[in-house]
Chains A and B, each alone.
Chain A
Amino acid sequence: MPESLPDYDYLLDLLPVGAMIIDANLKIVNWNRTLTDWTDIRRQDAVGHSLGKLFPNVAEQRYCQRLQDLFDHGLPVSFSAALHKYFLPIKPRHGLEGHMIQQTEARLLASHRNLALITIQDFSMQYRQLAQLKTERAELLRARDELQNTNEILVQRNRELDEFSYVASHDLQEPLRKITTFAQLVAKELSDQMTPKQQSYIAQVVSGTRRMRNLITDLLAFAGAGRTEVDRQPVDLNEVVCNVLDALELRLQETQTQVILDPLPIVLGDKGQLTQLYQNMIANALKFSTNSSPQIHINVEHATSGIVLGVKDNGIGIDPAYAEQIFKPFARLPSKHHVEGTGIGLSICKKVVNRHGGEIWVESPAEGGAHFRFTLDTPVRQIVPLMSQADDIPNFISASI
């Protein structure tokens, strides 16, 4: 150690980085404890030796030329981990493979311009984490690309399926109409020549084609619900429900169904599709009403996650085992009650709700009946009190304010 150089041992040992002092001949003048820990070379074994001899890579031009510039011109030197990986080839800690990744800086001592302090930071963990991040990122990007491709294919297939079912059901209508018409003509023109058995056959043909026409109409509605874009406009659900109740007025009066209507919100949605949604749900409630005092409650609840809309009836209810199945097309549950229909109404409801970003499900309240509930992922403008619409509400509806 040069005579005038203070004893830096203690200070250098305090540093949490590898640190050494070298002279202009690259001879080691001091060597701290961290470097001893990393290299197993003790201070007394390092001091006095040439750095280039202990670590031959330091004698390479890219290191020694710049270290020489440091002594010649006082210009500090930085060897980045990204470009050099390491300054001293040292085995990394924590059981890592390869060499310790290092960020190294060398500068002259302000008090001794013929000596330079070299500090070495261990960046191995950071670079290992970086490598892991890069691998994970590459995997995520690959997965995202695959998902995008799959999604594009699925969207395309869905569109084709919708188109197909729309075109198929549309094109089936015409021959079906012909079969019905001609079967009815045959029945009319040959009515006095046919045996009762033959007349019964013709009646079955007409009845079968009528059922098939209903099925096609529903199929068209189901396909239509997926074909058109959701045209989001502010929709007053009170108006939607009143229109639906108006359309079903005759059936409501025949069955003497009491309708309880909560004040509903204005939402951003497709008015036509939301009308279809309420129409199907209310018609469904009417269809499965066996109670002597049928009741339908069109309600809204305020949950923490947003509003939940619903249609609740006191009909035959739904076995929870079928709670999901009923939303699939053509799902008709075993029932002792004969009910008309194709089994596609609730699947249209699900499609409409999903296209509005929401979810639909059914619950079986303890008091009986079924409670269909759904959410819409759409901003709610306001809840509109029904007072202002009281004049428009038919008298079989109870408005809860």
Chain B
Amino acid sequence: MPLAEIDIDALGEIVNIGVGRAAASLSDLLGERIELQVPSMRMMTKADAKCDGPSGMSILQEFKGQVSGNALLVFPSESAKTLAKMLAGYDDSEDVQSLELSGILSEVGNIVLNGVLGSLGNVLGCPLEYRVPDFFVDETLASLLSRDANGDLATSEVLVADTNFHVLSRQIKGTVLIAFKLGTMENLCEHLLRLGTN
């Protein structure tokens, strides 16, 4: 069931609130002011995702409940390294090693996706179950979006939110993607409708 434009706007609000909370958590963690912005948002189908190549570096968090699916934070490889270096306090000449990279990005992904999914859970008004985030390098978007501990996840639509990280006067681009499991979009639409009427 495709989302109406008004639903997408509502989802955008949810994502923005979540990203705002994530920015506050990241700032607390690092003792630096970090801003997160979502300049644009759109829906795409799983078929669109299949056209994409390797996704760079990704953090995946599965969620289950009235609405189920996979949430992803994706960075181009160079952006991921730059962000990790900045967060670790390295200067440009220092290299961030894969052990550090996976740890830092997993935690950043955990904070950002927790923000967004927590915001979504609040709107749904019922608790969701979440898995601990996993870190991936160069997996295709299609494979990540359909990844499921219990087999292939049949997804319908994917929410794509471009996300800008402003850290120490630099801007790092990433993307938050949420793939909704087939059959749970209806629940989401109902909740969004209720949200609209309230």
Given A80-B104, A82-B103, CB of A130 within 8 Å of CB of B97:
yes
Residues B52-78 near A (CB distance < 8 A):
61
Chain B positions within 8 Å of A62 at CB level: 28-29
Residues A115-172 near B (CB distance < 8 A):
123, 126-127, 130, 133-134, 137
Cβ-neighbour of A78 out of B88, B99, B101, B106 (below 8 A)? B106
Q: Which of B107, B118, B129 has the most CB of A within 10 A?
A: B107
Given A61-B28, A69-B114, CB of A83 within 8 Å of CB of B128:
no
Chain A positions within 8 Å of B129 at CB level: 74, 110
Cβ-neighbour of B127 out of A77, A113, A134 (below 8 A)? A113
Cβ-neighbour of B118 out of A75, A81, A113, A126 (below 8 A)? A75
| A80, B106: Cα distance in complex, Å | 8
| A123, B122: Cα distance in complex, Å | 35
Is B121 touching A83 in the complex (CB atoms < 8 A)? no
Residue of A nearest to B98 (CB): A130
Is A127 touching B99 in the complex (CB atoms < 8 A)? yes
Please tell me if B186 contacts chain A, counting CB pairs below 8 Å. Answer: no
Cβ-neighbour of B99 out of A76, A113, A130 (below 8 A)? A130
Chain B positions within 8 Å of A127 at CB level: 99
Residue of A nearest to B105 (CB): A80
Chain A positions within 8 Å of B110 at CB level: 76-78
Please tell me if B148 contacts chain A, counting CB pairs below 8 Å. Answer: no
Is B132 touching A82 in the complex (CB atoms < 8 A)? no
Chain A positions within 8 Å of B130 at CB level: 74-76, 107
Residues A79-122 near B (CB distance < 8 A):
79-83, 103, 105, 107, 110, 113
Is B106 touching A134 in the complex (CB atoms < 8 A)? no
Is A75 touching B117 in the complex (CB atoms < 8 A)? yes
Chain B positions within 8 Å of A65 at CB level: 25, 28
- What bracket does the count of chain A residues touching chain B fall in? 20 to 34
Please tell me if B133 contacts chain A, counting CB pairs below 8 Å. Answer: yes
Given A62-B28, A83-B29, A130-B100, CB of A78 within 8 Å of CB of B133:
yes
Please tell me if A287 contacts chain B, counting CB pairs below 8 Å. Answer: no
Q: Which of A62, A73, A127 has the most CB of B within 10 A?
A: A73
| A77, B29: Cα distance in complex, Å | 13
| A369, B117: Cα distance in complex, Å | 87
Cβ distance B101 to chain A, nearest Cβ, rounded Å: 8
Chain A positions within 8 Å of B127 at CB level: 73-74, 113
Chain A positions within 8 Å of B28 at CB level: 61-62, 65
| A77, B129: Cα distance in complex, Å | 13
Cβ distance A24 to chain B, nearest Cβ, rounded Å: 14
Please tell me if B87 contacts chain A, counting CB pairs below 8 Å. Answer: yes
Cβ-neighbour of A74 out of B29, B99, B111, B128 (below 8 A)? B128
Chain B positions within 8 Å of A74 at CB level: 121, 127-130
Is A83 touching B132 in the complex (CB atoms < 8 A)? no
Given A62-B28, A133-B97, CB of A80 within 8 Å of CB of B131:
no
Given A73-B118, A134-B97, CB of A78 within 8 Å of CB of B25:
no
| A134, B99: Cα distance in complex, Å | 12
Cβ distance A345 to chain B, nearest Cβ, rounded Å: 51
Q: Which of A82, A127, A137 has the most CB of B within 10 A?
A: A82
Is A83 touching B107 in the complex (CB atoms < 8 A)? yes
Please tell me if A66 contacts chain B, counting CB pairs below 8 Å. Answer: yes
Chain A positions within 8 Å of B30 at CB level: 83
| A171, B28: Cα distance in complex, Å | 77
Interface residues in chain B, defined as those with a beta carbon under 8 Å from any beta carbon in chain A: 25, 28-30, 61, 84, 87-88, 95, 97, 99-101, 103-104, 106-107, 110-111, 114, 117-118, 121-122, 127-133
A/B interface sample: 16 pairs, CB < 8 A: A61-B28, A66-B25, A69-B114, A73-B118, A73-B121, A73-B122, A74-B129, A74-B130, A76-B130, A76-B132, A79-B107, A81-B100, A83-B103, A103-B103, A127-B99, A130-B100
6 closest A-B pairs (Cβ-Cβ)?
Answer: A80-B103, A82-B100, A82-B103, A80-B107, A75-B114, A78-B110
